[in-house]
Amino acid sequence: MIIDDAVAFCGSCDIGPDRWDTPEHLNPDPRRAKTSRGTPCYDCRHEVMAMVDGPPARTLGDLFRERWERATGDRLSVLSPSAVDIWPEHVAPDFRDVDVGISRTQALWKAFPERREGETAMLAAIAGAQRTLYFENQYFTSPIVAEALAQRLEEADGPEVILISTGHSPSWFDQMTMDKTRSAFLKRLEAADRFGRLRAFSPVTADGQIIIVHAKLAIIDDRFIRLGSSNLNNRSEGFDSECDLTLDARAAGNGGGVSCVRVFRNRLLAHWLGCKDQDVERATADGVVAGLDALIASGRNRLRPLRSQSLGFAAAFIAQYHLGDPISAADSLRPWRRRAQMRAKLSAAVQRLKRVDADAPAVPDVVALD
Total number of domains in the chain: 1
Read off φ and ψ for residue 262, nearest 5 degrees.
Answer: -65, -40
> Would you say residue 65 lies in a domain?
no
Q: Which long-range contacts (CB under 8 A, 24 or more apart) does 188-195 make?
A: 188/143, 188/146, 188/147, 188/150, 189/146, 189/149, 189/150, 189/153, 189/161, 190/307, 190/308, 191/150, 192/149, 192/150, 192/151, 192/153, 192/154, 193/153, 194/153, 194/154, 195/153, 195/156, 195/158
> Would you say residue 21 lies in a domain?
no
Rounded Cα gap, residues 279 and 294, in angstroms: 11
pTM above 0.85, yes or no: yes
Contact, 323 vs 336, CB < 8 A? no
Helix (H, G, I), strand (E, B) or coil at 287: coil
Contact, 368 vs 102, CB < 8 A? yes
Residue 65 has pLDDT above 80, yes or no: yes
Contact, 161 vs 221, CB < 8 A? no
Residue 289 maps to which CATH number? 3.30.870.10
Q: What is the pLDDT of residue 330?
A: 77
Q: What is the pLDDT of residue 253?
A: 56
Tell me 334's DSSP state. -
Q: Which domain holds residue 207?
A: 96-355
Rounded Cα gap, residues 96 and 306, in angstroms: 36
Contact, 335 vs 69, CB < 8 A? no
Q: What is the pLDDT of residues 103-133, one digit of tens each?
A: 999 998 888 898 999 999 999 999 999 999 9
> Would you say residue 8 lies in a domain?
no
Q: What is the pLDDT of residues 207-238, one digit of tens each?
A: 999 999 999 999 999 999 999 999 999 999 98
Contact, 32 vs 21, CB < 8 A? yes
Rounded Cα gap, residues 310 and 143, in angstroms: 18
Contact, 216 vs 14, CB < 8 A? no
Rounded Cα gap, residues 78 and 2, in angstroms: 13
> Would you say residue 13 lies in a domain?
no
Q: Determine if the peptide bond prior to 55 is cis (ω within 30°).
A: no
Across 85-89, average pLDDT:
93
Contact, 107 vs 239, CB < 8 A? yes
> Would you say residue 81 lies in a domain?
no
Rounded Cα gap, residues 335 and 230, in angstroms: 21
The more confidently predicted of residues 160 and 171 is 160
Rounded Cα gap, residues 80 and 70, in angstroms: 22
> Would you say residue 179 lies in a domain?
yes
Confidence grade of residue 370 (pLDDT, cut at 50, 70, 90): very low
- How many percent of the chain have pLDDT more than 70? 89
> Would you say residue 370 lies in a domain?
no
Residue 277 has pLDDT above 50, yes or no: yes
> Would you say residue 152 lies in a domain?
yes
Q: What is the pLDDT of residue 255?
A: 55
The CA–CA distances, whole Å, from 123 to 103, 237, 363 equal 12, 11, 10
Of the candidates 146, 221, 130, the residue with the CA atom closest to the CA atom of residue 188: 146
Helix (H, G, I), strand (E, B) or coil at 347: helix
